[in-house]
Amino acid sequence: MLIVSVSYTLLPWKSDFVVLDDMDFNEHILVFDFEPHDSNYSESILMELMEVFSDSTEHGKLYLNYPTVESFKDIRSLDDETSFINSTVTLEIVKRGYKEHVDEKARITQLNHIKKIDKKTGSRLLDLHQQKLTFITKLAKDSNEKYHQLCKKQCEKLKKEKIIWVVNTSILHLLDEYGSMP
C-alpha cells in the first residue's frame, strides 16, 4: 500500500523533528492496484472502499490502477487511441505477472524510465487514460462518480469475461488536481 499525502504544513517551532498528524495534511491520496486474483479480493468491499474514499480532503481519495501501476506504460503507440482504448488484460496474465508482461512488450522505451518522460509525452499519456476512463464509464471527466463507476464496470467485465481494461487512474490525479500536466 502506498499513501501519498500532499500540501502539508511543517511545524517551524520544532527544530529537531517534526510530528505530523491528519491535521497537517490537506489531502490524502491512496493508490492501490486492482488485485482480483488475491485470496482476500471482494467486489463488495472494493465498492464500499470506493464510496468511502472518494474525497481527498475528507477520508482520502482512492485511485485504483487496473491492474497495476505499470498500466501507465502498457501502450503500443501514443498515436493509436483506438488500440489503447480497447486494450485489456486477462486475469491469467495478471496472476502470472503483469509487470513482467508489460516489460516484455514495452514498445515506447521512454516510458520505461519515468524520469525521462517529457511534458508532451506525459500530457499525451494523461489524455489517453482520461479518454479511456470516459469511454468505459460514459461519464464526463469532471464527474464525481467516474472512479466508482470505473470500478463497477471493471468488476462486471472481470466477472463476465475474465479480463479487465488497462487503465491507470493514479496518474489521473494530476488532472483532478491541476487540470493538466504541471
Q: How far is CA 179 from CA 69, 70, 109, 126, in A?
A: 21, 22, 27, 10
Beta-carbon count within 10 A of 141 CB = 14
C-alpha cell belonging to residue 32: 492501490
Instruction: Look at the block and give the residue holding cell 463497477.
Output: 152
- The reported pLDDT for the residue numbered 14 is 43
Q: pLDDT tens-digit profile of 84-111?
A: 999 999 999 999 999 999 888 766 766 7
- The reported pLDDT for the residue numbered 13 is 45
Q: How far is CA 151 from CA 13, 70, 125, 163, in A?
A: 44, 18, 20, 13
Q: Where are the alpha helices (DSSP H) in 7-165?
A: 43-52, 81-85, 91-105, 119-137, 146-161
The full DSSP string for 124-157 is HHHHHHHHHHHHHH---TT-TTHHHHHHHHHHHH
Rounded distance between C-alpha atoms, residue 164 and residue 162, angstroms: 7
Residue 117's identity, in one-letter code, is: I
Q: Give the up-direction half-sphere exposure of residue 15: CA atoms within 13 A in the CB hemisphere.
A: 0
- The reported pLDDT for the residue numbered 174 is 87
Preceding peptide of 67 cis, ω within 30°:
yes
Domain ranges of the chain: 2-178
Diameter of the chain by CA atoms?
57
pLDDT tens digit at each of 182 positions of the chain: 334 343 334 444 444 444 555 555 677 788 999 999 988 999 999 999 999 998 887 788 999 999 999 999 898 889 989 999 999 999 999 999 999 998 887 667 667 667 778 889 889 999 999 999 999 999 998 898 999 999 999 999 999 999 999 999 999 998 888 887 66
Between CA 24 and CA 33, with CA 30 as vertex, the angle to 5 degrees is 160
Contact 98, 91 (CB under 8 A): no
